[in-house]
Copies of this chain bind each other. A is one copy, B any other.
Amino acid sequence: MAQATEIKVRGYHLDLYGHVNNARYLEFLEEARWALVDESGGLEWFTQERLALVISRIDIRYKRPATMGDVLKIETRMAHLGEKEGVIHQRILRVDNEKVVAEADVSFAVIHATTPGAMPLEGELGRRLQEMMNV
């Protein structure tokens, strides 16, 4: 099951057509990912192990515009966990009618502060990533 973050659309999120701006959706997705990592206790562990999650690709499909006053929820789940790359699937829905506003596949790797290259997503790291996002 996916975790959910809620955001209410405000005036400063909108462009001149009265719709949430493209770039702003990426902040909504990022907010939801941080909330997930944070609530799972993963943020502390990542910091302590000097690991960082690096986004390598975002493929976002805009389905319906969101506008002033809409309450959006962002669902986030691990869709795939490969050797050195994972894919997080995120959906942004309107809370009132459950319609999908946007959905995205976010590819990532994990890097270490002093080790070059992507870390293998196995062992404690793999287990924590799975737990975090309910594979």
Contact = CB atoms under 8 A, between A and B. Distances in A.
Contacts of A57: 59-62
A45 to B, nearest CB: 14
A11 B27 contact: no
B55 A61 contact: no
Tell me the dominant secondary structure on chain A's binding face.
mixed
Contact of A68 (B10, B16, B52): B16
Interface in A8-34: 8, 10-12, 14-18, 21-24, 26-27, 30-31, 34
Interface of A: 8, 10-12, 14-18, 21-24, 26-27, 30-31, 34-35, 38, 43, 52, 55-62, 68-69
